[in-house]
Structure 1
Amino acid sequence: MVENKFVAAFTPAEVEAVKKLKEALPDIVKNALPSTTEEAAAIPDLWNVKLDKDSKDERLDVILVKFLRARNLQMDAATKMLTDTLAWRREFKIDALMNETFDESIFSSVGYLHKSDKNGRPVCYNFYGDLDQNKVFGDVQRFIRWRVKLMEEGVELIDFVNIDSMVQVHDYKGASMFGRTANAKAATQEIIKIMQDNYPEFLAVKFFVNVPWWGSKIFKLLRPVLPEATFKKFVVCSNDELTTTLTQYIAEENLPTVYQTGKSRAVQSTGQTEEKKTPKTSMILKEATAFSREPTATTDADVAAAVKEEPTKTTTTEATQTPTATADAPIVEPVQAPSTTADAPVAEPVQAPSAATADTPVTESAQATPSKATVSTVDDDDDDLKIDQVEPANDKADSKTSA
């Protein structure tokens, strides 16, 4: 008898696909993790779930279906994705990464996990403005390891029983169209690829807040090339309804103080000072789709054209308003992020992860949708869009509290 609610929601096609992928696990592990005879005797795990083909643990089915959905239930493609992910995790030394420490004075203002939404899903906040790019991206690999660790910490909060995804909030306040350093661009590109390739279907809903007018134009340009499932995971918040929209998904007391009514600064649970954040522009679109199922083919020229079309007098509020989310729009990630999703410098993570397809039931991770939230026809992205091609300001880093 199926007890896991996510497994119970599988379609017949997904049930069969998961069964086949599970049977292939011994070969997948063997190809991904060449080992000695002694090592081969031990069954590896992924996100604390054993990759055992004979396992009755339904959490394994929930994880496997993520890879299948990310590849539209195509067995060969899903097998390759899982194989590559396992190989990447060993090469990246994920286990050792979780014991590494990073300078909070640099990264606490870039992104952090803070409490959960009304469905118990972890929420990751990502900021794209007022960043000191030389400090944040001066060492590209250091940034990438910090961002992957943040994603892994978020996944650790997912039990694959009650929740199977996370929420992403991307804040672009103070982001600039120009000025990204070469290191910032390189880091963004690499983290987006990592999230798309290795964290499928982890985005429930992705919120875009404090989006400038040019970001809105880019969203509009990219809307036609986004998969519908990914698009439904995006919620673009107009400036005058930011808190109202967020609190439809996240209890106000669970929001960072910067988003609580009448508050702009406060001390987070870690005791660090939280200050108003400014998002990093150039990563908006790409980061936005880091967890999405399909990469987009939008070019930098397309993005530039979209920005050029925007009238110079358009206000931020006007530009960020979008239509109300549909009833089946997921609650975020990413979603989507993507979403997924993850999830760019602060991706998400993320995605990244994607939403359920037309023949796949929408699980709890992608159900609720706000009455006033805007998921727009105007523009949205999940985890790896080209917004990343627009550039963030090289401003002072603000210290933000991580949680």
Structure 2
Amino acid sequence: MEEASSPMISIKQTLQLQDHHAKQPPSSPFKKSSFVSSLMEAAALRSPSFREDSYFVSHLKSSERKALKQLKDKLTATAATAPPDVSMWGIPLLAFGNDRADVVLLKFLRARDFRVSDTLHMLLNCLSWRREFEADAILDQDLGFKELEGVVAYMHGFDREGHPVCYNDYRVFRDKDLFERVFGDDEKLHRFLRWRVQVLERGIKLLHFKPGGVNSIIQVTDLKDMPKRELRVASNHILSLFQDNYPEMVARKIFINVPWYFSLLYSVFSPLLTQRTKSKFVISKEGNVAETLYRFIRPEDIPVKYGGLSRPNDLRNGPPKPASEFIVKGGEKVNIQIEGVEGGSTIIWEIVVGGWDLEYSAEFVPVAEGSYTIAVEKPRKMAAAEEAVQDTFTAGEAGKLVLSVDNSASRKRKVAAYRYTVRKPTAISNQLE
């Protein structure tokens, strides 16, 4: 397989007038942006990395270290009088010198502001719930929700810091028949709750539970067309279960496709939320989904439905092939040129623009004089709902492939990404790595 870096790649950006009523002197042409500056702009869209609390005992305040020791002592005393299975996620909580146990105990302590008695009560209740709920065995159970897998709640990829990402999208329950099949009675609701816990446990299985490691997940919740009233009971149960039994397991909560009224609700409930909770929230209205997710997750890890390059089966083949990111400004046309393509080679590429709503085209330009440019993909308007383009082209002669995204008709900046592979005639595989 010829690596993507073998042919030369260049990006040329052509700026066009965004405001037709603006007065621009003819002698002052627009300055062309470089590919480097485009990448710098892409990086600037990201907020600083989320800083989780430290799980190194040496980093704790003296009062916090004291609380951790007291919790261990109380837990040991409790286990001596009425020995429960004092372990969680396969981690024995009373093992001497076990820093993985310290990570778990610190999560419960932080959830109760280091109040030792309250923390012990919460921890014992959680251990009891896990036994009754059979949470440790839930990963291997078939709960009969195949139609919801990869649709309603699912783990998919990692963020830029290595946190597993869980996506939530409940719009399918607008279908009354499906809603009745899943939530029709208490037994069905209980089974759904078990399935939802199963999804979370899959994410937790990916955590390190080590100081300095990845110890929490990212939650992305899509609020588009979510049936709020119908899901109120299920949502309350899920929230209660997670708050009581999975403390400090979420590093960041990203809400996407947020409706206009959400900001009103948030302003009402915001005073009731702790600053710690609010610091984890990221709120993105409809139309800004890709730009928001690119701040935290690389495009090759973002599902195609949200402006990324990742398809459901991609993750089965190991880590995804990295993609390159760039910015398409309003009033700008960007040409990606894959140069140095040999005759007989096959180019396989993917390209996506968050929220598309612009024109896309592809052409092959031969090197030889007198050869004609081939329209691989004629210019076509890509609707906002379009997913990533995935295509191939076999070159009959040496030349370059030019991918164009034309945002001239818009004032809105858009995030974009692409990746490609060039397969020489002697190569066997023609799949993206």
Bin of the TM-score, shorter chain as denominator length: 0.5 to 0.7
Instruction: Give the corresponding residue for 1:15.
Output: 65
Instruction: Give the corresponding residue for 2:150.
Output: 108
Matched, 1:94 2:135: yes
Q: How does 1:3-402 map to 2 (within 5 A)?
A: 6-29=56-79, 44-52=86-94, 54-102=95-143, 103-131=145-173, 132-138=178-184, 139-161=188-210, 162-176=213-227, 178=229, 180=230, 184-260=231-307, 266-269=311-314
Kept in 2, the 8 Å contact 1:115–1:123? The answer is yes
5+ residue gaps, structure 1, are 35-42, 272-371, 373-403
Give the Cα–Cα distance (whole angstroms) in 1 for the partners of residues 63 and 256 of structure 2.
37
Structure 2 residue matching 1:213: 3-state secondary structure: coil
| Letter of the structure 1 residue corresponding to residue 179 of structure 2 | Q
| Letter of the structure 2 residue corresponding to residue 50 of structure 1 | P
Structure-2 change in CA distance of 1:84 and 1:137 (3 Å): same
Give the Cα–Cα distance (whole angstroms) in 2 for the partners of residues 135 and 31 of structure 1.
45
Cα shift at 1:8:
3.8
| Letter of the structure 2 residue corresponding to residue 248 of structure 1 | R
Deviations 1:297-328 (A, max 9, x none): xxxxxxxxxxxxxxxxxxxxxxxxxxxxxxxx
Structure-2 change in CA distance of 1:267 and 1:200 (3 Å): closer
Give the Cα–Cα distance (whole angstroms) in 2 for the partners of residues 106 and 241 of structure 1.
26
Structure-2 change in CA distance of 1:117 and 1:6 (3 Å): farther
Larger Rg: 2
Give the Cα–Cα distance (whole angstroms) in 2 for the partners of residues 202 and 127 of structure 1.
19
Structure-2 change in CA distance of 1:31 and 1:257 (3 Å): farther
Structure-2 change in CA distance of 1:25 and 1:216 (3 Å): same
Give the Cα–Cα distance (whole angstroms) in 1 for the partners of residues 218 and 81 of structure 2.
33
Cα shift at 1:219:
1.3
Cα shift at 1:192:
1.5
Give the Cα–Cα distance (whole angstroms) in 1 for the partners of residues 241 and 200 of structure 2.
11
Kept in 1, the 8 Å contact 2:169–2:226? The answer is no
Kept in 2, the 8 Å contact 1:256–1:268? The answer is no
Kept in 2, the 8 Å contact 1:166–1:204? The answer is yes
Structure-2 change in CA distance of 1:148 and 1:244 (3 Å): same
Give the Cα–Cα distance (whole angstroms) in 1 for the partners of residues 219 and 78 of structure 2.
31
Structure-2 change in CA distance of 1:85 and 1:31 (3 Å): farther
Cα shift at 1:33:
5.6
Q: Which structure has the higher relative contact order (CA within 8 Å, separation 6+)?
A: 1
Give the Cα–Cα distance (whole angstroms) in 2 for the partners of residues 143 and 32 of structure 1.
33
Structure-2 change in CA distance of 1:32 and 1:210 (3 Å): farther
Kept in 2, the 8 Å contact 1:28–1:83? The answer is no
Give the Cα–Cα distance (whole angstroms) in 2 for the partners of residues 241 and 188 of structure 1.
25
Give the Cα–Cα distance (whole angstroms) in 2 for the partners of residues 228 and 150 of structure 1.
28
| Letter of the structure 2 residue corresponding to residue 254 of structure 1 | D
Structure 1 residue matching 2:295: 3-state secondary structure: coil
| Letter of the structure 2 residue corresponding to residue 92 of structure 1 | F
Give the Cα–Cα distance (whole angstroms) in 1 for the partners of residues 80 and 125 of structure 2.
12
Give the Cα–Cα distance (whole angstroms) in 2 for the partners of residues 148 and 33 of structure 1.
26
Q: Greater strand percent: which structure? A: 2
| Letter of the structure 2 residue corresponding to residue 239 of structure 1 | E
Give the Cα–Cα distance (whole angstroms) in 2 for the partners of residues 50 and 177 of structure 1.
40
- The 10-residue stretch of structure 1 (164-173 or 102-111) with the greater mean CA deviation from structure 2: 102-111
Structure-2 change in CA distance of 1:10 and 1:105 (3 Å): same
Give the Cα–Cα distance (whole angstroms) in 2 for the partners of residues 266 and 66 of structure 1.
33
Cα shift at 1:153:
1.2
Give the Cα–Cα distance (whole angstroms) in 2 for the partners of residues 136 and 191 of structure 1.
14
Give the Cα–Cα distance (whole angstroms) in 1 for the partners of residues 149 and 64 of structure 2.
39
| Letter of the structure 1 residue corresponding to residue 196 of structure 2 | R
Kept in 1, the 8 Å contact 2:89–2:136? The answer is no
| Letter of the structure 2 residue corresponding to residue 229 of structure 1 | R
**TM-score (norm. length: structure 2):** 0.55
Structure-2 change in CA distance of 1:68 and 1:107 (3 Å): same
| Letter of the structure 2 residue corresponding to residue 137 of structure 1 | F
Identity %: 35
Structure 2 residue matching 1:164: 3-state secondary structure: coil
